[in-house]
Amino acid sequence: MIDFYTAATPNGWKIAIALEELGLDYVVHPLELSAGEHKTADYLALNPNGKIPTIVDHDAPGGPLAIFESGAILIHLAERTRRLMPTDPAGRSRVIQWLMVQMSGLGPMMGQAGVFYRYAPETIPFAIDRYQREVRRLLEVVNSQLAGRDWLAGDYSIADIAHYPWAMSHDFVGVGIEGLDHLASWLARMAARPAVQRGMAIPRAVDFSAIDKDEIERRRKNLA
């Protein structure tokens, strides 16, 4: 059994998708970020960084194991189940390389693009342009990698799972994917997977287009 602490964000959805793909037993513990539930003493004892997601794997070798950082959780789940990542060194390396592209590149850049495009109390064109251009560049890298292949690193893997919740929200940060046909096809393949559909609704489904100004203001204040 896995305790899964999460919220309706791309990093949380990554783990929800993986858990659904793997068919593991888990219990969802939704955290209300605007209420600071990710900063309580009990939660910080599990995740000193005070972010989501976190899991507690009660079936890990050696007893219950708390794991934070979405990339580390994905690697743990793949290695424990021997699924969603090859076991041979070369294949494993390819998947981890593309996982790191998301962890160090696409996720942080889209996060910053969202801050300045959606949440900042003042419009700063330089910052908006800088982060949107970098998001577009990274999506172009992903698009090039997908030329002639269905998945990022060989077979379907945690690399694809990590990228999807971020890449699918490109419109939310004001970045289009015109001309990125391989990326668009991959997004459609991902969206068609039943486990992806289930994971994207945990802990609740979010319609980005329906987020109104009050919601954006609430989220912006929570970034402080």
pLDDT 10s digits, 159-205: 999 999 999 999 999 999 999 999 999 999 999 999 999 999 999 87
Count of domains for the chain: 2
Which of 35, 69, 84 marks a domain boundary? 84
Quote the pTM value. Answer: 0.92
Dump pLDDT digits (tens) for 60-69: 988 899 999 9
Q: Long-range CB contacts (< 8 A, 24+ apart) of 135-138?
A: 135/106, 135/109, 135/110, 135/170, 135/173, 135/175, 136/175, 136/176, 138/101, 138/105, 138/106, 138/109
Residues 40 and 61 in one domain: yes
Dump pLDDT digits (tens) for 77-109: 999 999 999 999 999 999 999 999 999 999 999
Query: Which structural domain range is residue 183 located in?
Result: 89-192
Examine residue 177 and state whether it is found in any structural domain, yes or no.
yes
* pLDDT for 115 beyond 70: yes
Mean pLDDT over the full length of the chain = 93
Label residue 224 by pLDDT band (50, 70, 90).
very low
Examine residue 65 and state whether it is found in any structural domain, yes or no.
yes
Residues 75 and 94 in one domain: no
Residues 94 and 80 in one domain: no
Neighbours of 22 (CB within 10 A): 16
Instruction: Find residue 57's DSSP bridge partners.
Output: 2, 65
Residues 149 and 57 in one domain: no
* pLDDT for 209 beyond 70: no
Neighbours of 124 (CB within 10 A): 12
Examine residue 95 and state whether it is found in any structural domain, yes or no.
yes
Residue 215 carries which side chain, given as an amino acid letter?
Answer: E
Could you identify the residue written with the tokens 């003042």? 122
